Chains A and B, each alone.
Chain A
């Protein structure tokens, strides 16, 4: 275990550097803007800005100083929770993130487990039945899924399941449910609709929220499960060719035990890495999916901010998603080192 602790500490130290690098990179990109535009990165309260004037903010935060000084000052502001003012939603970026995250969280909550379980299941089946019809079908499906533009899938799903069948409407909630949720009697414990519905003993709210979640989740699963199937299949094929599998078979173990106990466990290792990246990468993909379904999460917020040239919002989203990505990778790597002792001993 001492090894594991040392490994985690080493990774944490590395994490600090990666976070510094990533934020510096994003900040360097924003340096291409004029100081007057960048002033919004530092403003917590738009009234104060009106009093001081843009030039006042520029002077106060020294927006014409060299890069490293500005970066240090900006990092200080970010550590205090100040990400600037989002003009497209006319609220501070930090507040916008606070109001938008529950919606994105709901989608990820459903999409991520489905992607991981379906991906592992189909990948294993495809590898066991190599070159059978099952294998061909799942390979073709995964190639097609990987090739479809998510916005197109989303629009087709909306056409069929909303416009023709009227089963699953876009948006986060139906109108009456929205009224119910906004009423003062409805306590916002978690700000996540599906949980709050249950906690307020209003299962109808939860059911309605889930109904609105189905299409976005299906879209993301169709696109993202493909990669997982592919990786699981090739990892499983590689494992099945290892000598210890032959040994297990020669010992007379049943096929089931060999596949699920001996092979699948070891084949899961590369999939674990990928799953971490996938969950983090969902944030990028959600930009498109949420826009298509009019879902008011972080992604559609960032997309509309991008069109509206709302730089602080885009920057906030970029910092947030980079952090999620780095932390998710860290967690996966630690799990990985825990599962596979060879890694921490390196």
Chain B
């Protein structure tokens, strides 16, 4: 088949999808709540991108909140209310709130997107495999997810962070090279059998194997507590996705078009990638959008208790936990209200934005609800 023919085929295949996207966009624009959510999220994206301009970093680590040493000498612990010098005021120990709130948006996106992306991937793999192949694989995987789900996530995450004392994560590059090339060769064999790519991949595999035996290379990534929290929430979070996608795949697996694809000789991977996933992934996307908000909330809750982000770090939950001293003496709360009111507003609007968007996506994407 010539390239031009392929392009033609691709364009024809794309037409219904574009039509579908247009329809979704139209529905989205019709709902004011959805637009509000979108605007909030875009606002935060802009804030995150412009952070170096709005609040220029003052040290080599941009996530370290600058602290005002002059005020600290005068009144050590007491927070100061908003002034021209510090638009949002300062927290306990004179950390600048404005800087923390602005750079906190990057942290929030990092938390939400990292956790959701990884849990989505793992959940997708486990859920699809378990539903598509069924049998003993399904039974084992699902009992395992049952165990993790039968558990208040916040507590398991807390226990994990506590137990994980090592300050660094050791990753062996040689071994990961081997694993990646094994996975790539599986994909190549099933989806796109190309001899040249395959040969290249085999070479990488050989190199990886050789290096892991003769001169193993490994890097160690320094981890602060926030990174551990992220990993912990991911470990707790993926089974939810696995369940959702499993249900969807089970529903679709026996449809005639899947049967037709298999009968015409497609491989399992091709059937899954081209026929099952495009028809079952939407509910997962809705769950993912709604999850970003609640993940940011969980991370903030752990930071508030005092086992998340370190105390200088630009993270909204950590900023609020700076005002935990008010809990032991609530009579000071009105005077220091800015220390938790402002970062709390940042968290809440961020999460409201994602939830509005997710709620609207549900109306737009859910085939059961949409064309009414």
Contact = CB atoms under 8 A, between A and B. Distances in A.
B158 A314 contact: yes
Nearest to B347: A149
Contact of A287 (B33, B154, B293): B154
B173 interface: no
Q: Is the interface of B mostly helix, strand, loop or mixed?
A: helix
Contact of A322 (B151, B301, B330): B151
A224 to B, nearest CB: 12
B355 A155 contact: no
A15 to B, nearest CB: 10
B163 A311 contact: yes
Contact of B150 (A22, A163, A170, A315): A22
Contact of A140 (B33, B317, B327, B347): B33
Interface string A325-339: 110010000000000
B305 A306 contact: yes
A284 B333 contact: no
Interface residues of A, number: 54
Chain B interface bracket (under 10, 10 to 19, 20 to 34, 35 or more): 35 or more
A163 B143 CA distance: 49
B352 A283 contact: no
Interface string A278-301: 001101110110011010000000
23 contacts: A29-B160, A30-B159, A30-B163, A147-B348, A147-B354, A148-B351, A149-B317, A151-B300, A152-B320, A152-B344, A152-B347, A158-B333, A159-B337, A163-B330, A284-B155, A302-B158, A307-B306, A309-B162, A314-B155, A314-B162, A317-B155, A318-B155, A325-B152
A163 B352 contact: no
A21 B147 contact: yes
Given A143-B352, A287-B155, A317-B155, 4 more contacts: A25-B156, A29-B163, A139-B359, A326-B150
B70 to A, nearest CB: 28
A288 B304 contact: yes
B64 interface: no
B359 A21 contact: no
A307 B159 CA distance: 11
Interface in B313-372: 317, 320, 323, 326-328, 330-334, 337, 340-341, 344, 347-348, 351-352, 354-356, 359
User: Which of A29, A155, A288, A314 has the largest count of B CB atoms less than 10 A from its CB?
Assistant: A155
B337 to A, nearest CB: 6
B9 to A, nearest CB: 40
Contacts of B144: 21
A195 to B, nearest CB: 26
A182 B306 CA distance: 32
Q: Is the interface of A mostly helix, strand, loop or mixed?
A: helix
A314 B341 CA distance: 30
User: Which of A17, A148, A281, A309 has the largest count of B CB atoms less than 10 A from its CB?
Assistant: A148
Given A149-B347, A283-B152, A314-B162, A288 B301 contact: yes
Contacts of B344: 149, 152, 155-156
A284 B294 CA distance: 14
B146 interface: yes
A152 to B, nearest CB: 4
A123 B321 CA distance: 34
B148 interface: yes
B81 interface: no
Interface string B130-154: 0000000000000110111011111
A147 B355 contact: yes
Contacts of B150: 18, 21-22, 322, 325-326, 329
A326 B151 CA distance: 8
A152 B147 contact: no
A123 B147 CA distance: 31
Interface string B273-292: 00000000000000000000
B164 interface: yes
B8 interface: no
A135 B268 CA distance: 45
B163 A306 contact: no
A163 B331 contact: yes
A21 to B, nearest CB: 4
A321 interface: yes
Contact of A33 (B148, B156, B165, B337): B165
A275 B347 CA distance: 27
A325 B151 contact: yes
Contact of B152 (A148, A163, A280, A307): A280
A12 interface: no
Given A25-B147, A33-B163, A149 B334 contact: no
Contacts of A285: 154
Contacts of B102: none
A100 to B, nearest CB: 15
Contacts of A294: 327-328
A147 B337 contact: no
Contacts of A291: 304-305, 327
B65 interface: no
Nearest to A25: B147
Contacts of B331: 163
